[in-house]
Amino acid sequence: MNTVFIGGSRHVSRLPNQAKERLNNVIESGFAILVGDANGADKAVQKHLLATHYEHVTVFCSGNTCRNNLGHWKINHVRTSKDVKGFRFYAAKDCEMAREADFGLMIWDGKSAGTVLNILRLVRAGKKGVLINAPEKTATTFKGTDDWEAFLSRCSIELHRDLKQRAMPEEWAPTGGRQASLFETPPEEQRRPETPGETDDELIAAINAALAVADPKAVVDLLGHVAKARGMSKVARDTGLAREGLYRALCTGGNPEFTTVLKVMNSVGLRLIANKFG
């Protein structure tokens, strides 16, 4: 019987439809489910399992106290040393579930590092994981270290630092891929400074040229380069848009809404002006 580790963020109190659909597929397949005892996503998953009267469930908790076991399922008490406290204490059960599971399903609030670290643990063990971003209603599948490194290259400096701080040393060691250096330095800090320079002037000139010939794909691609140069986290804060959504919208082949283009241009100090010609 396949075993699935299902976890998520404490700030996710209701399961998004994508998570319900995947969870129902797991139930229909009769897989064994491993779930934590925390409030938030763990409790929401337990409620769903209880409502479907599913029995192939084991609840994992760190230490002797189980905070939530709504279906009175089997409990696995994960032992920790007395000097382990805080995040690492509660992460002990996650590490154990990642070891025992064949694959994982994580329900993410788009911010918390703990949920994303579970994906890393699965990937490190050669297992498949799916990360559902509840606010953005997207799902990312991780089949190996290349997928993890691609995700890491897009994450914010804040999340990158939080992941590195919370991860065990052996978890955070470079995977050996071509982007292994990303484990050491936050991705946006590897880019050049935000101070405008000659490269910025060249990019702006290229954007004007693309606008002049009505080439929207080139405009979006070039605007993406300018936004990355300024710092995508800063652009996300200025525009009020999700950072990962901006990366997708401004990548090659992206198709952002016009309001997104205007917000990004305003954030990076550009202005769109109409001139009569002909």
pLDDT of residue 189: 46
Q: What is the pLDDT along the chain (278 residues), one digit of tens a residue?
A: 799 999 999 999 999 999 999 999 999 999 999 999 999 999 999 999 999 999 999 999 998 899 999 999 999 999 887 776 777 888 899 999 999 999 999 999 998 899 999 999 999 999 999 999 999 999 999 998 888 888 887 887 778 888 888 888 777 776 554 444 445 545 544 444 443 344 567 777 888 888 888 888 888 888 888 887 777 778 888 888 887 778 778 876 788 898 998 998 888 888 888 877 65
CA-angle at 144, arms to 140 and 146, nearest 5°: 85
pLDDT of residue 133: 95
pLDDT of residue 174: 65
Question: What is the radius of gyration, based on Cα positions, of the chain?
Answer: 22
With beta carbons less than 8 A apart as the criterion, state whether 249 and 222 touch: no
Ordered domains of the chain (ranges, CATH): 3-189 (3.40.50), 198-267 (no CATH)
- The C-alpha atoms of residue 58 and residue 273 are separated, in whole angstroms, by 61
Q: Are strands 103-108 and 3-8 parallel, antiparallel or unpaired?
A: parallel
- For the whole model, what pTM was predicted? 0.66
pLDDT of residue 39: 95
pLDDT of residue 126: 93
Q: Are strands 3-8 and 32-36 parallel, antiparallel or unpaired?
A: parallel
Q: What are the residues facing 141 on neighbouring strands?
A: 130
With beta carbons less than 8 A apart as the criterion, state whether 6 and 23 touch: yes
H-helix segments, the chain: 17-29, 41-51, 86-100, 113-124, 145-154, 157-166, 169-172, 198-212, 216-230, 232-239, 243-250, 258-267
Burial track 60-98 (b if 16+ CB lie within 10 A, e otherwise): bbbeeeeebbbbebeebebebeeeeeeeeebbbbbbbbb
- The C-alpha atoms of residue 94 and residue 60 are separated, in whole angstroms, by 8
- The C-alpha atoms of residue 36 and residue 5 are separated, in whole angstroms, by 9
DSSP string computed for 158-173: HHHHHHHHHS-HHHHS
Max CA-CA distance within the chain? 79
With beta carbons less than 8 A apart as the criterion, state whether 174 and 181 touch: yes
pLDDT of residue 197: 43
Q: What are the residues facing 58 on neighbouring strands?
A: 34, 74
pLDDT of residue 243: 74
Query: Which residues neighbour 79 within 8 Å (Cβ) at sequence distance 6 or greater?
Result: 63, 92
pLDDT of residue 139: 95
